[in-house]
Structure 1
């Protein structure tokens, strides 16, 4: 179910051209290699122009679990997410529970 909801939200964001062209994560057909190629191209361009390139790399482990869920919902609303997609997102973020059943209830 999570994959279906994720695809629905990503389709909405892509079809409404909400995502930046510099957004590589969680995009269909784009990934880490595309990001690295884009950065290498930009660094080569600035180096050839005689400019200086400074890089700051940050690895944010478990970023999703540390981000404000209310902030994610607010941002989603600002981007135009409504209806079932927004409800699914809110329920996923605010009402997450796991239940394992072994045998009969």
Structure 2
């Protein structure tokens, strides 16, 4: 059960960083992230989230309130990203159309081959998921 790594040129990596910075800038300026969202946000680490949850539990305990927590870990979440669904969400949150088109085109028409020693597999289309290693 392996997940392929995308090997990108330096120009592609630079382009991705530029697009990511534009996406994050728009998301932050428009308060798209919930206050409770700590993953994938600068200055919001797992440690910060753990401290926040611990403080909530302590506060509730000090006033004799019960605390409950539901945790969700989506297995292979990045492998299963539905491309059309992602584009729909970007539209729904009113991301600039040029960014939506870039993301849509970036994910469209992807394929892969497996190389092992001196042979390789047939080409497979990638209909879901986002590249790892980019």
TM range (shorter): 0.7 to 0.9
Cα distance per residue 1:18-49 (max 9 Å; x no partner): 22111111112111111111111111111222
Structure 2 unaligned runs (5+)?
1-14, 114-134
Tell me the TM-score normalised to structure 1 length: 0.79
Structure 1 unaligned runs (5+)?
100-105
**Alignment partner of 2:84 out of 66, 70, 76:** 70
Name the one with the larger strand percent: 2
The number of residue pairs the alignment matches comes to: 99
Greater RCO (CA < 8 Å, at least 6 residues apart): 2
Indicate how the Cα distance of structure 1 residues 61 and 93 shifts in structure 2: closer, same or farther if over 3 A, else same: same
Measured on the aligned residues, the alpha-carbon RMSD in Å equals 1.9
Tell me the TM-score normalised to structure 2 length: 0.64
The reply on whether 1:15 has 2:29 as its aligned counterpart is yes
Name the one with the larger helix percent: 1
**Alignment partner of 1:31 out of 30, 45, 53:** 45
